[in-house]
């Protein structure tokens, strides 16, 4: 069984369901309100666990009622929660999501305890990181904690995967030098490289720039079109599966969790891992909510087999 460490955020997601997004200064009515567990780190940890990997999550929650609730949610999905720490005097991170009738969303995050994650917190998991196959991180927690995790991983000869989200224009070169694979979406990639993304040729140019920045393996997720892979074993667009999207909130997180749980340490199966992750993501967008929508491995495999018939 593959062992994955995810370093990242835990959020409570409050979703306002609307027919369409409000214009500046406009007041509209919500058609409904729902609440579920979220946060890029937590979502990716659950997706990795559901892919069949053993996943340990390093994170921080607040000392409010949501903290224990988040830990219970993660544990229920099979994530190992022994390194989720409670932060006195802080509230658990919260995401406020507006979801329109087309399944598109806008998200505003109140980071709360997520921004209290430290390098020292990561150091406590040093032995676990040394035993893992892969360490995954995003940008909803402080970058020094991610650098600490990646340093421990590289010292132990482990693979590191960075999901540079939310988008940041200038990432420290130290972090890029420690990153084996980077997985931005097209918007995040454009911000990182300074290059536009309007077609597949632009994806190739973005990937080339990210290689120049020191990243060996690049996977740019491209919404309903799929994911663009630039790696030693394969380069090209891995098409998405055509489905009717209901809620795209955890699409990218589902992709990354499944990709990290499926890809080999030498990335020799990167094309197949991306295709399988695309399939998982296509199932996630057909359901409401972030964590509740992430499919189980058996569901993804069944959909995959049905496609091959």
Q: Give the model confidence (pLDDT) of 62-82 as tens digits.
A: 999 999 999 999 999 999 999
Predicted pLDDT at 308:
67
**Contact predicate 134/149, CB 8 Å:** no
Predicted pLDDT at 90:
97
Q: In whole numbers, what is the pLDDT of the chain averaged over residues?
A: 94
φ/ψ region of 289 (left if φ > 0, alpha if ψ in -120 to 50, else beta) reads left
Judge whether residue 232 has pLDDT over 90.
Answer: yes
- Angstrom distance (rounded) from CA 135 to CA 178: 11
Judge whether residue 305 has pLDDT over 80.
Answer: no
Q: Is 253 a catalytic residue?
A: yes
Query: Shortest CA distance to 208 belongs to which of 225, 191, 189, 223?
Result: 189
* Number of C-beta neighbours around residue 24 at 10 A: 4
CA atoms in the 13 A half-sphere facing the CB of 190: 11
Structure confidence at residue 103 as a pLDDT band (50, 70, 90): confident
- Angstrom distance (rounded) from CA 8 to CA 122: 11
CA atoms in the 13 A half-sphere facing the CB of 52: 13
Predicted pLDDT at 46:
97
- Angstrom distance (rounded) from CA 190 to CA 176: 16
Average pLDDT over residues 202-224: 96
pLDDT tens-digit map of 261-286: 999 999 999 999 999 999 999 999 88
Query: Shortest CA distance to 289 belongs to which of 32, 85, 114?
Result: 32
pTM: predicted TM-score of the whole model, two decimal places: 0.93
Six token digits for residue 267: 């990335």
Predicted pLDDT at 309:
64
- Angstrom distance (rounded) from CA 109 to CA 92: 11
pLDDT tens-digit map of 126-182: 999 999 999 999 999 999 999 999 999 999 999 999 999 998 888 999 999 999 999
Catalytic residue among 110, 127, 253, 307: 253
Six token digits for residue 144: 């020094």
Query: Shortest CA distance to 8 belongs to which of 71, 74, 70, 60?
Result: 60
pLDDT tens-digit map of 3-15: 999 999 999 989 9
Predicted pLDDT at 202:
97
């Amino acid at each position: 069984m593959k062992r994955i460490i995810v370093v990242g955020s835990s959020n409570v997601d409050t979703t306002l369901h609307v027919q369409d997004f409000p214009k500046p200064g406009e007041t509209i009515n919500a058609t409904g309100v729902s609440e579920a567990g979220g946060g890029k780190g937590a979502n990716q940890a659950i997706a990795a666990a559901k892919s069949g990997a053993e996943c340990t999550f390093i994170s921080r929650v607040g000392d409010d009622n949501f903290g224990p609730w988040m830990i219970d949610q993660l544990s229920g999905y099979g994530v190992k929660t022994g390194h989720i720490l409670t932060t006195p005097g802080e509230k658990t991170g919260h995401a406020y999501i507006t979801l329109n009738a087309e399944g598109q969303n806008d998200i505003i995050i109140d980071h709360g305890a997520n921004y209290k994650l430290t390098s020292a917190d990561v150091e406590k998991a040093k032995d676990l990181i040394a035993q893992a196959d892969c360490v995954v991180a995003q940008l909803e927690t402080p970058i020094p904690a991610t650098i600490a995790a990646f340093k421990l991983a590289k010292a132990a000869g482990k693979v590191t995967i960075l999901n540079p989200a939310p988008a940041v224009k200038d990432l420290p070169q130290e972090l890029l030098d420690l990153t084996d694979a980077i997985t931005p979406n097209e918007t995040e990639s454009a911000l990182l490289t300074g290059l536009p993304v309007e077609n597949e040729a632009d994806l190739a140019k973005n990937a080339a720039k990210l290689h120049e920045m020191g990243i060996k393996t690049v996977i740019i997720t491209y919404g309903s079109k799929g994911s663009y892979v630039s790696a030693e074993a394969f380069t090209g667009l891995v098409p998405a599966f055509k489905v009717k999207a209901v809620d795209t909130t955890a699409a990218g997180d589902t992709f990354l969790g499944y990709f990290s749980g499926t890809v080999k340490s030498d990335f020799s199966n990167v094309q197949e891992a991306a295709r399988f992750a695309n399939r998982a993501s296509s199932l996630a967008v057909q359901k409401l909510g972030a964590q509740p929508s992430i499919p189980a491995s058996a569901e993804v495999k069944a959909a995959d087999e049905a496609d091959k018939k």
